[in-house]
Amino acid sequence: MKKRLYAVLSLVVIAALLLSLNVSWNMASGSTSQKTFKVGLVTDVGGVNDRSFNQSTYEGLKRAEKELKIKTTLIQSKQMTDYIPNLQKLAKANYDLIIAVGFLMHDSVVTVAKQFPKTKFLIIDSEISDLPNVASAMFREEQAGYLAGVAAALLEKAKFGRTTGKNVFGVVGGMKIPPVDRYIAGFKAGVLSEIPKAKVIIKYTGKFDDPASGKQVALSEIAQGADFVFQVAGQTGLGVIQAAKEKGVYAIGVDSDQSYVAPNTVVTSAMKRVDVATYSVIKDTLNGKFKSGIIYFDLKNNGVGLAPFMKGVPKSVSDKINKVIADIKAGKIKIPTEVK
């Protein structure tokens, strides 16, 4: 009886020892049961240093990396022909979610998403509603643009700082695409809601990655009397802000709070919280809650807004903006989405 008991105990000890060795081997070899969640980001031609649209997306990605403990990769596109190969590279590497930044990447995302139906994609600023593996983050840019236009007009009427009271406003767009036009349409409507006879000069450079052209167009608008220039041009818009700084007029930033580019020049920024949208979709995908189709971000869910004003802006302006925000949320203000 004792021999049989000793034999059983010996087998138990050996089994425990083997199990311990196996666990130790797995730990030493780096084997884990949980796969690392990987998210890749492909920028459009504006690049991640545009201090605007692409950069805001990247900030949302880095926040997710830090807070959600995921692996991230950034690929910057130099030209539009880079879009498909860059997306394919991440898909072939089995990334769990691939983010494409911008309306210009629409066709490339459709192509690659069909090639890799098991890979999930998020496109910023373009509507793709018929693919089960693609989510589209869309923004009510016209709401942010409207707030910026109201603010600029209020400051013009108050003869704030260096304004001349000529009631002329400049807008510099990059490419004439729907997201850009929604910002501009909103801005013009906002200005005219306060100054019905104001002159709003609208010009496009056709580029998102050329600050020199942005500066040149902005200078021409300033020469026509513009006290404010609103840039909706990505990296090109940095030239717009530079022109405003040199000529002593005010600039309005776009997509993110651009006050740090020129603190005494950028009076506010029409914000599109791409960082919020990016983080939100990454988190949902990680938690198994990925939803394909269109997701809208607006004033109600903090998806768009107006950045804090520079120092010295009268409280009355902030108070009026808060009232306008409440009216937009309540559906009392109808804002156009097309430039006329």
At residue 258, does pLDDT exceed 80?
yes
Q: Which residues, in sequence order, are bridge partners of residue 123?
A: 100, 136
Q: Other CB atoms closer than 10 Å to residue 132's CB: what's the count?
A: 10
Nearest CA to 254 out of 2, 21, 51, 7 is that of 51
Query: pTM for the full model?
Result: 0.81
Convert the pLDDT of each residue in 300-330 to its tens digit: 988 999 999 999 999 999 999 999 999 999 9
Convert the pLDDT of each residue in 83-108 to its tens digit: 999 999 999 999 999 999 999 999 99
Tally of residues, the chain:
340
Q: Lowest mean pLDDT: which of 45-49, 205-209, 269-273, 321-325?
A: 45-49
Residue with tokens 């450079």: 205
Q: At 125, give phi and psi (nearest 5°).
A: 75, 20
Going by the DSSP 8-state scheme, the letter that residue 235 receives in this structure is G
pLDDT at 34: 60
Q: Other CB atoms closer than 10 Å to residue 312's CB: what's the count?
A: 9
CA torsion 209-249-269-65 (nearest 10°) is 50
